[in-house]
């Protein structure tokens, strides 16, 4: 077997790994969109490939999938596909195009009559993310995907390192946090405790800025709301995401729960006018937040991607509004800005806003990366999904691990 990393050896995001079996069959693991414009070249998406395996529904791992030839089979988790299509619905796009086969955690399957795949559910900032054991030509490759050991699925990390697959020839392991730290908040539990303290003392409304698909973060905020007798307000898109996740995890809060209210965002409702959404729209209507927030704003917490400017304006001047930024701070910088960056940065410096950053990463810290690597004990480790491979190598060598190989994008290596 041969391996090639199209991009990811010196970059976070845009991940795409190629495995070439001795019989000529080619498998790609992930086909992500780049997170920045430093290297816009994605011409490799037109190269020959027999199948693509997607680890999780973050765009830097699946974002170029629609550039593939339609006949190329794509293997993806069932919930992951639902979450991607949820985004498509609410951005007025058609469902993801392609030839898709879904799989479930820990259920082995075969791709192209060549590659034996065992998917391992991981702890990450999306409800369904996978690592993969890939076997072909008497070689065993383990692809870590994105993972951590500090979220609400910590037990799947522990399960893996307590009973790891053996005889791994190559471990392709993410290294996002090599040059980052979690600072004050190491775990989801610590995030919950921090927002709980804010909610307990709030005199006006609180906004928590996070991704609707970060279900761990949603649960942390929900639990803090429940402990402080606050209503948690979500938008229509977030309500739909909860429905998707509850297909597999019925313990996740439903929109009918007493603590949850839904803001009937007109633009989002306009995206689901089709009759197939009638039942869902009726459920949303029953849980509508209405205007009660203006009567008792301190009773409400909004879980949003971007604070509603009109709502913020109406509630300003009573008491300080809490803005809790709960995602990667890189999105507040020019090189990674999104549609809400300017709005958030303006609120951040306003005198009548209490702004705090309360976040823990979806990626493993260096000590947890080492625990993972030592448990799997591979013949070779190649860092990917990192901008600091040299530091990765040095940190691991300090711990006596001398099997770190630094690869380059676009180079084919023999296993």
Q: Are residues 84 and 153 in the same domain?
A: yes
Q: Are 98 and 74 in contact (CB under 8 A)?
A: yes
What CATH number should be reported for the domain holding residue 82? 3.60.15.10
Residue-by-residue DSSP string for 160-205: HHHSPPP--SEEEEE-GGGG---TT--SHHHHHHHHHHHHHH-SS-
Q: Are residues 83 and 174 in the same domain?
A: yes
Q: Are 7 and 33 in contact (CB under 8 A)?
A: no
pLDDT recorded at residue 210: 96
Q: For the chain, give the number of residues.
A: 415
Domain boundary among 310, 328, 357: 357
Q: Which domain holds residue 239?
A: 188-357
Q: Are residues 129 and 6 in the same domain?
A: yes
Measured CA to CA, the distance from residue 157 to residue 219 in angstroms comes to 19
| Bridge partner list, 7 | 16
pLDDT recorded at residue 184: 81
Q: Are residues 296 and 320 in the same domain?
A: yes
Q: Are residues 175 and 32 in the same domain?
A: yes
Q: Which of 55, 380, 354 is nearest to 205 (CA)?
A: 354
Q: Are residues 144 and 161 in the same domain?
A: yes
pLDDT recorded at residue 79: 96
Burial label, 12 (beta-carbon count in 10 A; 0-12, 13-18, 19+): buried
Q: Are residues 279 and 171 in the same domain?
A: no
pLDDT recorded at residue 183: 67
pTM: 0.94
Measured CA to CA, the distance from residue 119 to residue 193 in angstroms comes to 33
**Which token pair is 1?**
């077997």
Q: Which of 137, 140, 141 is nearest to 24 (CA)?
A: 137
Write the DSSP symbol of residue 11: -
Q: Are residues 38 and 131 in the same domain?
A: yes
**Which token pair is 122?**
């991981």
Q: How many domains does the chain have?
A: 2
pLDDT recorded at residue 358: 96
Torsion sign across C-alpha atoms 382, 383, 384, 387? negative
pLDDT recorded at residue 337: 84
pLDDT less than 70: residues of the chain:
181-183
What distances in angstroms separate CA 272 from CA 237, 265, 405, one per listed residue?
10, 11, 49
Q: Are residues 127 and 196 in the same domain?
A: no
Q: Which of 415, 365, 356, 354 is nearest to 395 (CA)?
A: 365
The CA radius of gyration of the chain, in Å to the nearest whole number, is 22
What CATH number should be reported for the domain holding residue 240? 3.40.50.10710
Q: Are residues 21 and 151 in the same domain?
A: yes
Q: What is the SS3 assignment for 216? A: helix
Q: Are 18 and 42 in contact (CB under 8 A)?
A: no
Q: Which residues have a Cβ under 8 Å from the Cβ of 402 and sit 6 or more positions away?
A: none
Q: Considering the chain, what percentage of its residues have pLDDT values greater than 70?
A: 99
pLDDT recorded at residue 70: 87
| Bridge partner list, 380 | 170
Q: Are residues 331 and 230 in the same domain?
A: yes
Residue-by-residue DSSP string for 31-95: -PPPSSSS----GGGGS--SEEE---S-HHHHTTGGGS-TTSEEEEEHHHHHHHHHHHHHTT-PP
Q: Are 252 and 215 in contact (CB under 8 A)?
A: yes
Domain boundary among 357, 376, 404: 357
Q: Which of 100, 131, 77 is nearest to 248 (CA)?
A: 77
Domain boundary among 335, 357, 379: 357
Write the DSSP symbol of residue 241: H
Q: Are residues 70 and 130 in the same domain?
A: yes
pLDDT recorded at residue 80: 96
What distances in angstroms separate CA 288 from CA 1, 260, 343, 347, one per listed residue?
56, 9, 25, 26
């Amino acid at each position: 077997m041969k391996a090639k990393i199209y991009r990811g050896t010196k970059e976070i995001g845009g991940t795409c790994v190629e495995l070439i079996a001795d019989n000529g069959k080619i498998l790609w693991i992930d086909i992500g969109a780049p997170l920045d414009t430093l290297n816009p070249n994605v011409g490799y998406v037109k190269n020959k490939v027999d199948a693509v395996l997607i680890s999780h529904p973050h765009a830097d791992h699946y974002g170029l999938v629609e550039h593939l030839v339609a006949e190329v089979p794509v293997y993806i988790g069932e919930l992951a596909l639902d979450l991607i299509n949820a985004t498509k619905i609410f951005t007025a796009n058609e469902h993801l195009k392609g030839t898709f086969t879904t799989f479930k955690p820990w259920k082995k399957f075969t791709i192209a009559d060549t590659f034996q795949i065992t998917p391992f559910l991981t702890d990450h900032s999306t409800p369904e993310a996978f690592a993969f054991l890939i076997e072909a030509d008497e070689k065993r490759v383990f692809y870590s995907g994105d993972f951590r050991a500090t979220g609400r699925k910590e037990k799947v990390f522990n399960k893996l390192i307590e009973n790891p697959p053996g005889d791994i020839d190559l471990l392709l392991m993410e290294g996002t946090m090599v040059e980052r730290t979690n600072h004050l908040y190491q775990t989801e539990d610590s995030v919950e405790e921090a927002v709980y303290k804010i909610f307990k003392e709030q005199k006006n409304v609180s906004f928590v800025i996070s991704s609707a698909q970060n279900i761990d973060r949603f649960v942390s905020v929900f639990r803090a709301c429940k402990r402080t007798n606050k209503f948690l307000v979500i938008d229509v898109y977030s309500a739909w995401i909860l429905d998707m996740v509850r297909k597999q995890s019925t313990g996740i809060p439903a929109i009918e729960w007493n603590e949850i209210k839904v803001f009937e965002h007109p633009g989002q409702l306009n995206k689901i006018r089709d009759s197939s959404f009638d039942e869902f729209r009726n459920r949303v209507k029953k849980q509508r937040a209405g205007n009660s927030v203006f009567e008792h704003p301190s009773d409400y917490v909004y879980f949003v991607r971007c604070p509603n400017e009109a709502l913020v304006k109406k509630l300003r001047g009573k008491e300080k509004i809490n803005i809790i930024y709960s995602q990667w701070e890189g999105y507040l910088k020019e090189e990674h800005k999104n549609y809400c960056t300017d709005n958030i940065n303006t609120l951040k410096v306003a005198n009548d806003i209490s702004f705090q950053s309360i976040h823990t990463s979806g990626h493993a810290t260096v000590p947890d990366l080492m625990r993972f690597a030592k448990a799997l004990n591979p013949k070779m480790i190649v860092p990917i999904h990192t901008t600091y491979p040299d530091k990765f190598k040095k940190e691991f060598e300090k711990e006596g691990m001398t099997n770190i190989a630094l690869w380059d994008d676009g180079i084919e290596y023999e296993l």
